[in-house]
Structure 1
Amino acid sequence: MTPLRQRMLHDMQIRNLSDNTQKSYLLQVSSFARHFRRSPEMLGPEEIRAWLIYLREERKLAPASLSPAIGALRFLYRVTLKRDWSDEDFPLPRKPVRLPVVLSLEEITTFFDSIPSLKHRTILMVAYAAGLRVSEVVHLKVTDIDSKRMVIRVNQGKNRKDRYVMLSPRLLEVLRTYWQDAHPRDWLFPGDIPGHPITRTAVARICALARQRSGITKPVTPHSLRHAFATHLLETGTDVRRIQLLMGHRSLATTSRYLRIATSTVCATASPFDLLPHPAPIPSPPPAPEYF
């Protein structure tokens, strides 16, 4: 490990960045240095610009996929190397605004009914019923289910924040049935490797197979269930601020995007077309004469 890599790692550890962020940043900077075959200390804004053009034009990365590279370089040069560079030296591409595709209640029911495994069904039901990220679901422990207070404790979710979410009475019944069948001891959903939880990749495969079995044509991922959780709460009148707390969003603006897809918002206003008088019925054409 080079001294610069070690220093950057220490800077990230001091700031308590997540393990995944540390690994991602080191990988991004390493790729940047290998591309130019020089130490990052010898590179500057022109190389950063050329690197981003290479990632966009040659590697065909989407704008959202450039964010980790830009974040890593910003941290390296501003924090570790203490370069006094502006935001213009780290151009962030504008991301297209896309709204998530949301499953209806009927589609959610069909989706769950298509999962034959009790364990797999329970995993995805937890994701929907509590609005959890897949990383939060797989890291749940048996002790995180508090049936006395009817809450689920999420330990160190995104941005290293703990939070509590509701424990649905119906979900509690499902969890008790699952526990009586599997008897998990530590991790609520243990994986194939002893002492480790099920992986996010495994949950993604479970979700993809369930979508295939259900016949649902909409895209369905574990995160789709989280989108459905927030949207369905909005449609039943739950306050946006409360949903923000349940979802663990740092910004209310992140939660507010669900207002653009909730039917309670989109369909709350009548179309002016409905105010138009009904047009006179279109007369039927006269019957064609018969010649035979």
Structure 2
Amino acid sequence: MIAEMQIRNYSPRTISSYVSSLRSLSLFYNLSPDLLSLNQFKDYLSERVQVDKISNATINQAIGAWRILQCDILRRQWEDFKVKRPRREKKIPQVLSPQQVLSLLSSISNVKHYALVSLAYATGMRRNEVLQLCIKDIDSARNMIIVNRGKGNKQRQIPINNSLIKTLREYYKQYRPLKFLFEGYRVGLSYSATSFCRILQRACKKAKINKRVTPHTLRHSFATHMLERGLNLKQLQLILGHNAMKTTSIYLHVADMSSIKMPDLLQPNESCDETEPK
């Protein structure tokens, strides 16, 4: 199964998650997953939902692994083993105001930590994309970051401004990382996700921000603030690396559109010939 997913260019993280999902299913019945029926799989999911309170994301992950097993490995018809995915939860993302972000950054005195949080906010990159970013992925001549390990292993480009480049240069001169832009205590290994979250927790406490702020909160804040600054939805979709515009459009629900000048549709358009109504 691992080889099948590698051929299909699944990310290492997805492969690990799918294998872990099938391992849990197998341990639940103490049987190899290829010997289990559709009803057994549904009963397993039902038990996990009721007892373990697993999220929709975990359910979808289990269904994805189940489908690969049945269709790609065992060559069975999906209609015979199909499980409907749960309804997507429609949650409005929590964001920080621009003033809160600036206050958060002002509370960080460590050069490395400041550069890390600045990069995450100013680009809207996912947590793992930030942590897996290599030095060679930054094209300062073009003011561009190349994300080679995005979700689904899709490559994309993110424009960056001069102030962020200046911040990253100051950090690089002081720390001189070898491979990953942000490395942990061991040279050549990327910075840990846990440490990233702790930086934000400490900064929030110091800045007196009474919200649970995660790296993904910075991504949500970036997207919302970009819309408020006038970036169009299609451009934002490309920067964030979303497959569907529907995913990006959720930020319309939280963006403050009060600064946008709306055309007055009740007044005649000056570019059109004005004619008297009959």
Aligned length: 262
How far apart are the structure 2 equivalents of 1:266 and 1:121?
30
Runs of 4+ more than 6 Å apart: 265-269
Q: Which residue of 1 aligns with 2:31?
A: 38
Cα shift at 1:41:
2.1
AA of the residue aligned to 1:25: Y
Structure 1 pair 252–169 and aligned structure 2 pair: CA distance change class (3 A) = same
Query: What TM-score do the two structures reach when normalised by structure 2?
Result: 0.89
Pairs within 5 Å for 1:233-252: 233-252=226-245
Q: Which residue of 2 aligns with 1:81?
A: 74
Q: 1:105 aligns with which of 98, 109, 115?
A: 98
Q: Which residue of 2 aligns with 1:287?
A: none
Q: Which residue of 2 aligns with 1:27?
A: 20
- Please list the CA deviations of residues 199-246 of structure 1 after superposition, one character each: whole Å capped at 9, or x if unmatched: 222212211221222111122111111111111110111111011111
How far apart are the structure 2 equivalents of 1:127 and 1:87?
44
AA of the residue aligned to 1:245: L
How far apart are the structure 2 equivalents of 1:32 and 1:88?
15
- Tell me, yes or no, if structure 1 residue 210 matches structure 2 residue 203: yes
Pairs within 5 Å for 1:178-197: 178-197=171-190
How far apart are the structure 1 equivalents of 2:85 and 2:157?
34
AA of the residue aligned to 2:64: G
Pairs within 5 Å for 1:9-24: 9-24=2-17
How far apart are the structure 1 equivalents of 2:235 and 2:175?
34
Structure 1 pair 28–122 and aligned structure 2 pair: CA distance change class (3 A) = same
Report the aligned-residue RMSD.
1.9
Q: Which residue of 1 aligns with 2:255?
A: 262
Cα shift at 1:180:
2.0
AA of the residue aligned to 1:42: L
How far apart are the structure 1 equivalents of 2:93 and 2:100?
15
Q: Is the 8 A contact 1:191 1:197 kept in 2?
A: yes
Q: 1:222 aligns with which of 215, 218, 237?
A: 215
Cα shift at 1:265:
7.2
How far apart are the structure 2 equivalents of 1:221 and 1:101?
10
How far apart are the structure 1 equivalents of 2:81 and 2:68?
15
Percent identity between matched residues is: 37
SS at match of 2:185: coil
- Please list the CA deviations of residues 31-75 of structure 1 after superposition, one character each: whole Å capped at 9, or x if unmatched: 111111112222111101110111011212133332211111111
How far apart are the structure 2 equivalents of 1:265 and 1:95?
29
How far apart are the structure 2 equivalents of 1:174 and 1:10?
41
| Residue segments in structure 1 that go unaligned for 5+ positions in a row | 1-7, 270-292
SS at match of 2:34: helix
How far apart are the structure 2 equivalents of 1:63 and 1:140?
29
- Tell me, yes or no, if structure 1 residue 149 matches structure 2 residue 142: yes
